[in-house]
Amino acid sequence: MKELLMLLTKSIVDTPDEVQISEIEGEKAIVYEIRVADDDIGKVIGKHGRIINAIRTIVRAAAVKEGKKVSIELLG
């Protein structure tokens, strides 16, 4: 799932080398924290949050197939 998230995020931003994703496993869910360059935050969020919500939907769908719960946070 981390690879899927990395692929989706890197394809959107202008500086894919600065994309960092950290994975925090909890008891019930996995939290992914995405860090991108300051100039790319708007591109990842999209208008009215549509792009980040689409990314969350895709990753959650992949997580359901594996029987896991996933949360995604975008950090600036």
HEC per residue, 45-57: HCHHHHHHHHHHH
Residue 28, pLDDT score: 85
Domain boundaries, the chain: 2-75
Amino acid identity, residue 38? D
What global pTM score does this model have? 0.89
Burial tier of 62 (Cβ tally within 10 Å: 0-12, 13-18, 19+)? middle
Q: Consecutive 10-residue runs of the chain (76 residues): their mean pLDDT?
A: 94 95 92 95 95 95 91 90
**Residue-level pLDDT at 66:** 86
| Fold annotation for 2-75 | GMP Synthetase; Chain A, domain 3 (3.30.300)
- Residue 40's pLDDT is 94
